[in-house]
Structure 1
Amino acid sequence: MQEHSLVSIIIPTYNRAHLIGETLDSVLAQTYTNWECIVVDDGSFDSSYSIVKKFCEKDKRFKAFQRPGNSIKGANSCRNIGFDQSTGDYVIWFDSDDLMTPDHLEVKLEEIQKAQADFVIAQTQNFSENGFEAPYVYEQKPYGITAEDFILRRIHWYTYDVMLKRNVAGRIRWNENLQSWQDYNYFCKMLLVTTKGHYIPQVLTHRRLHRVSIQQQMTSSFSSFKSALIDVYWYTFQDIKHQISKHIKKEFTRNLMNLSFGLVKEYKIPPRIFQIASLVFRVFGFRGLLFYKLSLVSGACIRKGESLLEVAKSKN
């Protein structure tokens, strides 16, 4: 292992005064010591920023920043700010309520260098006040990692599972319009830069489960879940549409059609309905758009229309 390699750990935080100290203690406990930990506060109302500043006073490897008022609020904005302030050869995105195992950095750095990979993916284990759950084991395809598999959600992983090279991270930005599933958007873009990745069959992150989270609020009902998915699919499509195949574009469009149809059956107006209709026309033509609209009308009126939707999604 190259002991001189600097690892940048970038953590956004918001109102985590009761948790962030434990997270930063897990960083302090790392067996690999050449790191910088950049924490960007998103305008907390509690003492989160003061706690981080105390860690900075105790250890100069910690660096604290506050999101400027003219920046978009949210974790993604903070991540982009943190990366701009970082200088490490390798980057790890982490959250302010989760914990690193003591060998988190050491194992990832050793594996990424040994495999000569652009990124590595370790495992995560969820925990709560009730204890630890079984570690999540990611599906590995025999042919390796592809952008298409991730984009179409055949494979996935968590934000904090990944360590990536700086020259890869420097070619990607976090989409600041997204409030949930940000990692899906980010790693779709990463895999269009490189698929030279390596899995590590070892738990290196303990992910805290608790009731208060943006994603849990947004997925508290099927309708809010579908609306949030429409948002992430839409923004991701806009980010990568010039880099993906016609096949992936069709699958993206079909997903948006399915989600919007599901919402109208629940008597909800889908977000971005006019943009989706325009996309359907570009991808499936006039016939596809006609049957898509008919399926929406049928779904809204009699909660049926699946056969119309299938015609709309058929290859033209």
Structure 2
Amino acid sequence: MSKPQVTIIMATFNRGKFILETLLSVQKQTFLNWECLIIDDGGTDNTRAIIAPILEQDNRFQYLQRPNKYLKGLPGCRNYGLDLAKGDYIVFFDDDDIAHPQNLELCVLELMATDISFCRYIRNVFFEEFDYAFNYSKVYTSFYIDKKDVEKMLKNELPFNSCAVMWKVACFEKNRFVERLMYAEEWELYSRIVSSGHSGISIEKCLFYGRKHLNSNTGEFYSHNPVRRESYTEAILLVVQNLKEKQLLSHGIIRYFVATAIDFKEYNLFENILDLLELSTFEKLKWQIFYTILPFRLRLYRIKKGLK
């Protein structure tokens, strides 16, 4: 195979039930010049046996075990994939989702046509069986994204799902996943990349479909898994530190994270944010008052909304 233009990095762990359907959606891409690095995180099910036929049939797929020098988990697997990648463009796919057949084609066209570093697209979700009635239209709207949009990214007003962005490989020359994070690792990394000055385009077309189930990292987070919750608080602190160093830490971002900290009191998130900010005594007092009063304001708001 000639040098691949796109590298797909797919971490996997005990996804024998779903991964073959995911790989078939990769194989059906309208863009052909890609490699797919399947990084096994030490799974114990029959994933290897299930995907053996497709590995033998199509040498664009590679199945690899995560070496011990990379920490166990999604970030370590993805960093390993980044170190092996041969493509000019990088995209991360999960091992239980479905890629639109035009995913690679449309993103590559956008990245080749303009001087941008990434192409974001829409990701929808599905439950149980997937409907393969794809929309193949190449007509869509788009808009540009740069570091002024970081606040929207962090507030999920402009979601950057881990599998809904194709990146130029240059974005990862100085940026890698923080391997100890077990949740929000892509949220932290992607905001770091964009805040570093990499700009991109967002196309208003769904090119990826995420399977929703309770065993996903997101499902575990919303089920109050302590590992995922603690990881999220650490990711927040890393984001605050990064934006502070780049002088991009706005009042709106601080307010958002202080409000978030109310739900993470067991990790002392609010106190740790204040320590990072190194505020004057007066500024610190203002945020302490805001933090104390906010739960009562929110409760009053919900009561008024209920009465209406």
Q: TM class by shorter-chain length?
A: 0.7 to 0.9
Match status 1:192 vs 2:187: no
The TM-score with structure 2 as length reference comes to 0.79
Which secondary structure does the structure 2 equivalent of 1:22 belong to? helix
Counterpart of 2:238 (choices 230, 235, 240) is 235
- Is the 2:9–2:36 Cα contact (8 Å) retained in structure 1? yes
Match status 1:106 vs 2:109: no
Match status 1:287 vs 2:282: yes
Look up the match of 2:301: none
Look up the match of 1:310: none
CA distance in 1, matches of 2:104, 2:113: 14
Which secondary structure does the structure 1 equivalent of 2:262 belong to? helix
Counterpart of 1:160 (choices 158, 163, 171) is 163
- In structure 2, relative to structure 1, the CA distance for the partners of 1:98 and 1:145 (3 Å cut) is farther
* Aligned CA-pair RMSD: 3.5
Look up the match of 2:15: 16
The TM-score with structure 1 as length reference comes to 0.77
- Is the 1:13–1:39 Cα contact (8 Å) retained in structure 2? yes
Greater relative contact order structure (CA < 8 Å, 6+ sep) = 2
Counterpart of 1:278 (choices 247, 265, 275) is 275
Compute the displacement of 1:32 (Å): 1.4
Question: Which runs of 4 or more aligned residues in structure 1 lie more than 6 Å from their structure 2 counterparts after TM superposition?
Answer: 141-145, 222-226, 294-300
Compute the displacement of 1:35 (Å): 0.6
- In structure 2, relative to structure 1, the CA distance for the partners of 1:138 and 1:263 (3 Å cut) is farther
Compute the displacement of 1:228 (Å): 5.5
Identical amino acids, percent of aligned pairs: 24
CA distance in 1, matches of 2:145, 2:273: 35
One-letter amino acid matched to 1:284: L
Look up the match of 1:89: 88
One-letter amino acid matched to 1:286: T
One-letter amino acid matched to 1:125: N
Look up the match of 2:302: none
Q: Which piece of structure 1 moves more, 213-222 or 87-96?
A: 213-222
Compute the displacement of 1:4 (Å): 7.3
Look up the match of 2:150: 147
Give unpaired runs (5+ residues) of structure 1: 307-316
Look up the match of 1:63: 62
CA distance in 2, matches of 1:299, 1:120: 37
1:1-316 counterparts in 2 under 5 A? 6-129=5-128, 146-221=149-224, 229-245=232-248, 248=249, 250-264=251-265, 269-272=266-269, 274-279=271-276, 282-290=277-285
CA distance in 2, matches of 1:159, 1:236: 16
CA distance in 2, matches of 1:110, 1:141: 15
One-letter amino acid matched to 1:76: P
Compute the displacement of 1:14 (Å): 0.8
How many pairs align? 290
One-letter amino acid matched to 1:193: S
